[in-house]
Amino acid sequence: MHTYPAIEDHGLIGDLQTAALVTCDGTIDWFCAPRFDSPSIFAGLLDAERGGYFRIAPDDVPHVTKQLYLPGTPILITRFISADGVAEVVDFMPVTGERATDVHRLVRMVTMVRGSMRFRLECRPRFDYARDPHEVEQHRNGYVFRGRTAAFTFNPVAPVRRLIDSGDIQVRDGDLIGYATLNEGDTGGVVLETAAGAEPRIVPPEEVQGMFEWTRDYWRRWVDRSRYTGRWREMVERSAITLKLMTYAPTGAMIAAPTASLPELIGGTRNWDYRYTWIRDTSFSVHALLGLGFTEEVSRYMEWLDERVREAGDHQDPLKIMYRVDGSSDLHEEILDHLEGYRGSGPVRIGNGAADQLQLDIHGEALYAMHLADEQGIRVSHQVWRSTVRLVDWLCEHWDRPDAGIWESRHHPRNYTFGRVMSWVALDRAIRLADRTGRPGDVARWTDQRNQIYNQVMARGYHRGRGTFVQAYGENVLDAALLAMPAVGFITPTDPLWLDTLDAIERELVSDSLVHRYDPVHSPDGLPGHEGTFNMCTFWYVEALARSGRLDDARLTFEKMFTFSNHLGLYAEEIAATGEQIGNYPQAFSHLALINTALALNDMLDAEADARRRR
């Protein structure tokens, strides 16, 4: 087995159409272009030997590394510190804009801060998930890497001393290997540009500086639009930037994560492709973004969601649970047998076979988002409302069907309590929208069905024998998704029925403040093995504690969660029993839940402080 960095030993950079991961040792080991869901150019993260990577790092020099973001931006700074000198590699991607393009730039600049240091550069692309062989064309001013499916140019930057001089670089088996010794004050670098017909060129230093300053200023202007001034501002700001990095600017759709097939268990088979837009994830992000004041991003997403609602409603079909960022729904799942997977965790999957599952809860998340947006003046058109009515009417007919549930079980369909709760939310928010806007709809029928769902959940989703709400009707196991019940208004957070459920979740699903989604031993999901604790569920747990009146417990649990982020404030999907991050990374669910929890908890702590002062 080959050497792999820890999942959390990565920073994320991006240009709002695609993204790259950079390790603490200066290696780009994941990059897909021209979109998040395009085939990879570097995929060493999924196969250290075959996947390809682009490394700039000290050559045989004992050193330590430190990594940080330029404040208020996703510009990544990796620092190499040795007895003989200190150097910095700055990685960023200039924002591409809202028009889809095949041209994307990875900028890698090296500066010798003090002393001297010898560097090694290795550019080893492996196009199309290492399935597409490539050639290297040497030109007067750089190189072109060209495969059948993609190409990019390797453009050196020409300040006082280039990182790579022409005499120090060699082509070996289609890869570039180069060396350079930098002395104090020297700067050099490379701009990789994805463009099939581009001619390589020497990039002037002032052009790179201009790209840097424009990228820095773009992100700082964006962050300055946030109206959040509460506690945990740094973590909230970093989470907001991360969510923005996972947004596809041409459509406003947000992906669940920029990676594919990172395992939920090292050596296990729970490896999924998350480079798509889940209705559930992005709809939950509406609350987070509105809470921070980012109404433009919400408006763009709602336009994208409106199109999906129109497509479903016009055909009298349910919403699909996920789509590509352009709105298409072909997500055929494929196994890449030639890649070994992260730390040998196969199979490596691209595409997602869960795309065609029936998951009733997503209608609740979609209507929840639509209702929140409407409260902020982001209203749907007449045509979208007509489609929404048809979608809600469809739900009235079908909410009582077994489905795959929020966790996308590949086991048999079941009557999931959370799916019924969110179907109640869909009808409840549709009724509120119709009442507030005066738009037509069969509100009497919607109200009747909403009440039927409520009564059914109370009769069948609540297990009287154990005295708690349960994952599915007729079963006695718990589900952390139930933690959202008070937040969506289904039940009062101090209701004895809910407090007993919260106590049971604490006993059975919480481990040192971290929350498991469910117990796979007693709730089979059709897959072997187990998984770590789920970060979003832990944040939901914090909010549930706070809403139930346990503010001190909630705050301590929230602060503990910060210790599980990486050095840059980023979260994967899950935390392993060993404390390391696992699953796709960084995960939108984790970061949007952090923001929502910070907003709610901050307000409750402020209210408690005001009450103390009045006393």
195-211: pLDDT as tens digits:
867 789 999 989 999 99
Q: Check pLDDT > 90 for residue 528.
A: no
Give residue 525's pLDDT.
Answer: 55
Give residue 373's pLDDT.
Answer: 95
Tens-digit pLDDT profile for residues 288-317: 999 999 999 999 999 999 999 999 878 888
Give residue 46's pLDDT.
Answer: 98
Q: Of all residues in the chain, what percent carry a pLDDT higher than 90? A: 86
What DSSP string runs through 85-101? EEEEEEEE-----SS--
Together in a domain, 144 and 35: yes
End-to-end CA distance of the chain: 63
pLDDT, average across residues 117-134: 96
Give the total number of structural domains in the chain: 2
Round to whole Å and give the CA distance between 398 and 534: 30
Q: Is residue 211 one of the residues assigned to a domain?
A: no
Together in a domain, 386 and 432: yes
Q: Confidence class of residue 527 from pLDDT cuts 50, 70 and 90?
A: low
Round to whole Å and give the CA distance between 417 and 403: 11
Q: Are 486 and 547 in contact (CB under 8 A)?
A: yes
Together in a domain, 291 and 356: yes
Tokens of 486: 């008070």
Round to whole Å and give the CA distance between 280 and 366: 7
In this structure, the strands spanning 10-14 and 19-23 are antiparallel
Average pLDDT, the chain: 93
Give residue 6's pLDDT.
Answer: 97
Tokens of 277: 């837009």
Together in a domain, 174 and 97: yes
Together in a domain, 237 and 191: no
Residues spanned by the domain of 284:
225-614
Tens-digit pLDDT profile for residues 391-436: 999 999 999 999 999 998 877 899 999 999 999 999 999 999 999 9
Q: Are 130 and 50 in contact (CB under 8 A)?
A: yes
Q: Of all residues in the chain, what percent carry a pLDDT higher than 70? A: 96
Maximum C-alpha span of the chain: 79
Domain containing 399 — which CATH number? 1.50.10.10
CA nearest 365: which of 318, 398, 328?
318
Together in a domain, 57 and 182: yes
pLDDT, average across residues 364-377: 95
Domain containing 183 — which CATH number? 2.70.98
Q: Check pLDDT > 60 for residue 94.
A: yes
Tens-digit pLDDT profile for residues 226-253: 999 999 999 999 999 999 999 999 999 9
Give residue 474's pLDDT.
Answer: 94
Q: Is residue 5 one of the residues assigned to a domain?
A: no
Together in a domain, 403 and 493: yes
**142-172: burial string, b at 16+ Cβ within 10 Å, e else:** bbbbbbeebbbbbbbbbbeebbbeeeebeee
What DSSP string runs through 147-213? ESS-EEEEEEE-SSS-SS-GGGEEEETTEEEEEEEEETT-EEEEEEE--TTPPP-PBPHHHHHHHHH
Tens-digit pLDDT profile for residues 37-49: 999 999 999 999 9
173 vs 571, higher pLDDT: 571
Round to whole Å and give the CA distance between 533 and 480: 10
**246-258: burial string, b at 16+ Cβ within 10 Å, e else:** bbbbbbbbbbbbb
Q: Check pLDDT > 90 for residue 493.
A: yes
Instruction: Among 213-222, 337-346, 606-615, name the one with the lowest average pLDDT.
Output: 606-615
pLDDT, average across residues 270-287: 94
Q: Check pLDDT > 50 for residue 160.
A: no
Burial class of 508 by CB neighbour count within 10 A (0 to 12, 13 to 18, 19+): middle
Together in a domain, 261 and 393: yes
Q: Is residue 4 one of the residues assigned to a domain?
A: no
Q: Is residue 511 one of the residues assigned to a domain?
A: yes
Q: Confidence class of residue 270 from pLDDT cuts 50, 70 and 90?
A: confident
Together in a domain, 153 and 258: no
Q: Check pLDDT > 90 for residue 159.
A: no
Q: Confidence class of residue 162 from pLDDT cuts 50, 70 and 90?
A: low
Domain boundary among 193, 222, 251: 222
Residue with tokens 């994307």: 104
314 vs 486, higher pLDDT: 486
Instruction: Report the interhelical angle of 382-398 vs 443-456 (nearest 10°).
Output: 40
Together in a domain, 172 and 243: no
Q: Is residue 569 one of the residues assigned to a domain?
A: yes
pLDDT, average across residues 107-136: 96
Q: Confidence class of residue 2 from pLDDT cuts 50, 70 and 90?
A: low
Domain boundary among 192, 222, 252: 222
Together in a domain, 139 and 249: no
Q: Confidence class of residue 515 from pLDDT cuts 50, 70 and 90?
A: very high
Together in a domain, 189 and 256: no
CA nearest 113: which of 169, 178, 66, 69?
66
Tell me whether the omega of the peptide bond preceding residue 34 falls within 30 degrees of 0, making it cis.
yes
Q: Is residue 212 one of the residues assigned to a domain?
A: no
pLDDT, average across residues 24-34: 97
How many DSSP H helices and E strands does the chain contain? 13, 30
pLDDT, average across residues 571-589: 96
Q: Confidence class of residue 522 from pLDDT cuts 50, 70 and 90?
A: low
Q: Confidence class of residue 157 from pLDDT cuts 50, 70 and 90?
A: confident
Residue 371 φ/ψ, nearest 5 degrees: -65, -45
Round to whole Å and give the CA distance between 370 and 283: 8
Tens-digit pLDDT profile for residues 131-147: 999 999 999 889 999 99
Q: Confidence class of residue 1 from pLDDT cuts 50, 70 and 90?
A: very low
Q: Is residue 481 one of the residues assigned to a domain?
A: yes
Task: State the DSSP code for 106.
Answer: E
Q: Is residue 74 one of the residues assigned to a domain?
A: yes
Q: Confidence class of residue 125 from pLDDT cuts 50, 70 and 90?
A: very high
